Amino acid sequence: MVKPVTQGQVIRSEWIKRVNLAELTVGSLGVLVATGEYATGLIRATFAAVPRRLPVLVAKAAVLAAVTFTVCLMAVLIAVAGGQALLGPHGISLGHPEAVRAVFGATLYLTVVAVLGIGLGFLIRSTAGGIATLIAVLFVLPVIVSVLPASVSSGFGRYLPSTAGRALFTMNAGDAMLSPWAGFVIFLLYAVIVLAAAALAVRRRDA
């Protein structure tokens, strides 16, 4: 017997679709912010003006993070308000115990995705390669892990970058995910590792 789809499941599905589109957008933007100058050759002039190089990476990441957080917070609030207006009593308002965490959690998640994109861009130095790697890590890898035996996918899958990060804004996830802040910290560590590798590459490789 097929179980009926609940209103909560519909809301959660639509929420995830919107976040998927947003993370692909901000992640790709992050890659482009890093690789754009490599493609045009302007990176040589930038590094000539800032010989230490590392401040370039830090400045780009900081500015993009601030812009992404501001824009995404506004977009998420508008999406929640619009969804509440359409669903009426079946929607989830900001008065819900987990709604505020979901709003700010989605915003923080997308901000880290943008920074992750910058790290991949500086590390790979190719727009196509950086975006492909981002898609593979955030979207393809969870699908591959999900088809593995349940004993493996249920245990290991929770620690994948996107799955760990999504715990911060996913409501009623149960045992399928880590606790919200623990998952986000793990996702943040992935981004820090990529940025550290990018910083090392920027300092050692020729422009």
Q: What is the model's pLDDT at position 100?
A: 83
* Dihedral (CA of 69, 168, 106, 77) sign: negative
Domain boundaries, the chain: 7-204
Mean pLDDT confidence for 128-142 = 95
pLDDT(83) > 90: no
CA–CA distances in Å: residue 168 to residues 6, 151, 204: 22, 24, 36
Instruction: Quote the pTM value.
Output: 0.87
pLDDT at 2 over 50: no
Q: What is the pLDDT of residues 21-79, one digit of tens each?
A: 889 999 999 999 999 998 888 888 988 888 889 999 999 999 999 999 999 999 888 87
pLDDT of residue 127: 95
pLDDT in tens, 145-187: 988 887 777 778 899 999 999 999 887 666 678 899 999 999 9
